[in-house]
Amino acid sequence: MESIENLANKVLKKADMAVEDSLLSAMNLPFFSALRWVERQTHTRTNHAQMLVGLREGLFLKEFVVHTQSVRILEIGTFTGYSLLCLSEGVRSVLASRGIKDIRYGEDTRVDAIELNPQLDYLINGGLQKAGTAKLVKVCFGDALTVIPEKFLDRKYDLVFIDANKRQYSEYYNLVYPLVEPEGYILADNVIWYGKVNESANLSDSKSQGIAYFNKLVESDQRTEKTLLNIRDGLYIVKKLKKNFI
């Protein structure tokens, strides 16, 4: 069986090839046009454009969805929807490979997204409409720690992507772990946190403390296989082992 580290590196190589292809020939496709639109709007309408995952990590997310054939996805922390576009495009690619062209949200194929700030609805849904994946996605606004128990505890997911409040990463992880299918994945962004969480760092702020605690939680979780991918600000990739699925 392929290790999680080999899987991550294989997908990263494919994502890097996709970045080159996008710069050369594919930028007029609706997906890439939507990404550019969201990026421009984020720079214009918010003060936090640095929170975008960017093209390389975004295409890694898309390719990871395709490689793992994930079609039931939960995103925690959508921001303006850049990563959501990539995740939903990945699902659409999986469905297309199965001959399914009429994509729509349902029990077996869905992308759920949770964002705290409802004022970002225009940007999130605008990007989805431009990419053509809006019918596949439902966005809920509110605190994920409240939304998940209220709406999602009866659902199962192939993949969960965490990119929200850094102080609450461990709470998100513990909350969604039972929702992830055996051999499914939890991906968590920003786990290097600008180098603030290395062993020699003084963890004086609550976000750094939250990420450091989360990293230790993941490292010690014997129910999983995991690897830390050095892309952007660090991406933890956690696979739920089949033999320990409770």
Type of residue at 36: R
- Angle among Cα 16, 40, 228 to the nearest 5 degrees reads 35
Residue 202, pLDDT score:
65
Residue 235 to residue 232: CA distance in whole angstroms: 8
Residue 70 belongs to a domain with what CATH number? 3.40.50.150
Type of residue at 242: K
Q: Which domain range does residue 53 map to?
A: 4-244
Q: Is the pLDDT of residue 200 over 60?
A: no
Within 10 angstroms of residue 38's Cβ, the number of other Cβ atoms is 26
Residue 20, pLDDT score:
79
As a whole number, mean pLDDT of residues 121-128 equals: 98
Residue 183 to residue 7: CA distance in whole angstroms: 13
Contact between residue 158 and residue 72 where contact means Cβ atoms under 8 Å apart? yes
- Angle among Cα 157, 162, 167 to the nearest 5 degrees reads 135
Q: What is the DSSP letter of 28?
A: T
Based on C-alpha coordinates, what's the Rg of the chain? 17
Residue 201, pLDDT score:
58
Question: Does the pTM exceed 0.85?
Answer: yes
Within 10 angstroms of residue 139's Cβ, the number of other Cβ atoms is 20
- Report the domain count for the chain: 1
pLDDT tens, residue by residue, 91-102: 999 999 999 988
